[in-house]
């Protein structure tokens, strides 16, 4: 039991620390908080935190290592994930052309937007593989506890970031254009598909 508690505490710390480097979720959280307030920005961060937890769970349990040693499997996953992001970007853009229920520049589903920004990212999964190799958790229960801790730590970090950025919000500030969110999704999707194609043809 002590191993599980220690693993969970380690996961919380890792969730906070891995959130610190500037990335697409950080930018999305800050931009959304500054223009639309704390709530949608926090939901974007929560999506990113869940994605971090999925990556951590895959790395800590050894599933990610299986993908890493099978380039064609990794290529197929990258191509599929990239295609899904591009489809989501096109669907989001189409919704943006209709009368919107959300504020301009804010994704219709912030949680899923944050999840999609991080989950298909192979670089994030690779980083968690390196972390898993360094910490060497003793059991499956410890691995699950650590991954759960990662979600809590990462979500807490993004919630704090959203709260800080929301303080800079100006009610009359110019809103970002509605195509920014779909553009970000599409760009990430294209990069991930390019990596998949490179792995498949390399």
Q: Which two tokens stand for residue 170?
A: 């100006």
Q: What does pTM read for this prediction?
A: 0.73
pLDDT at residue 100, as a whole number: 45
* pLDDT higher than threshold 70 for residue 50: yes
Q: What is the pLDDT of residues 12-22, one digit of tens each?
A: 999 999 888 87
Give me the percent of the chain exceeding a pLDDT of 70: 71
Q: Which residue has the higher pLDDT, 118 or 107?
A: 118
Instruction: Tell me the domain boundaries of the chain.
Output: 2-201
Distance in angstroms (rounded) separating the CA atoms of residues 198 and 136: 31
Residues near 53 by Cβ (< 8 Å), separated by ≥ 6? Answer: 15, 147, 148, 150, 151, 154
pLDDT at 88 over 80: no
Question: From CA 77, how far away is CA 67, in angstroms rounded?
Answer: 9
| pLDDT one-digit tens code per residue, 183-192 | 766 776 777 6
The pLDDT-based confidence of 105 (bands split at 50, 70, 90) is: low
Mean pLDDT to the nearest integer, 21-32: 84
> Is residue 35 over pLDDT 90?
no
Query: Which residue has 């929301």 as its token pair?
Result: 166
- Segment 124-139, tens digit of pLDDT: 888 888 888 888 888 8
Mean pLDDT comparison of 2-6, 42-46, 122-126, 182-186, highest-scoring range = 42-46
Q: Is 118 left (phi over 0), alpha (psi -120 to 50) or beta?
A: alpha
């Amino acid at each position: 039991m002590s191993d599980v508690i220690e693993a969970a505490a380690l996961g919380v710390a890792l969730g906070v620390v891995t959130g610190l480097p500037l990335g697409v979720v950080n930018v999305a959280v800050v931009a959304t908080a500054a223009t639309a307030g704390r709530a949608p920005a926090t939901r974007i961060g929560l999506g990113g935190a869940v994605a971090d937890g999925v990556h951590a769970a895959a790395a800590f349990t050894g599933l990610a290592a299986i993908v890493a040693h099978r380039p064609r499997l990794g290529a197929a996953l990258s191509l599929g994930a990239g295609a899904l992001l591009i489809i989501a970007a096109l669907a989001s853009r189409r919704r943006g052309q209709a009368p919107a229920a959300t504020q301009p520049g804010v994704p219709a589903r912030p949680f899923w937007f944050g999840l999609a920004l991080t989950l298909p990212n192979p670089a994030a999964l690779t980083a968690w593989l390196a972390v898993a190799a360094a910490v060497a958790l003793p059991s499956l229960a410890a691995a699950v506890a650590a991954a759960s801790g990662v979600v809590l730590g990462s979500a807490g970090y993004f919630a704090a970031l959203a709260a800080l950025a929301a303080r800079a919000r100006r009610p009359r500030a110019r809103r970002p254009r509605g195509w920014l969110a779909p553009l970000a999704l599409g760009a990430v999707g294209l990069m991930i598909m390019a990596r998949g194609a490179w792995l498949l043809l390399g």
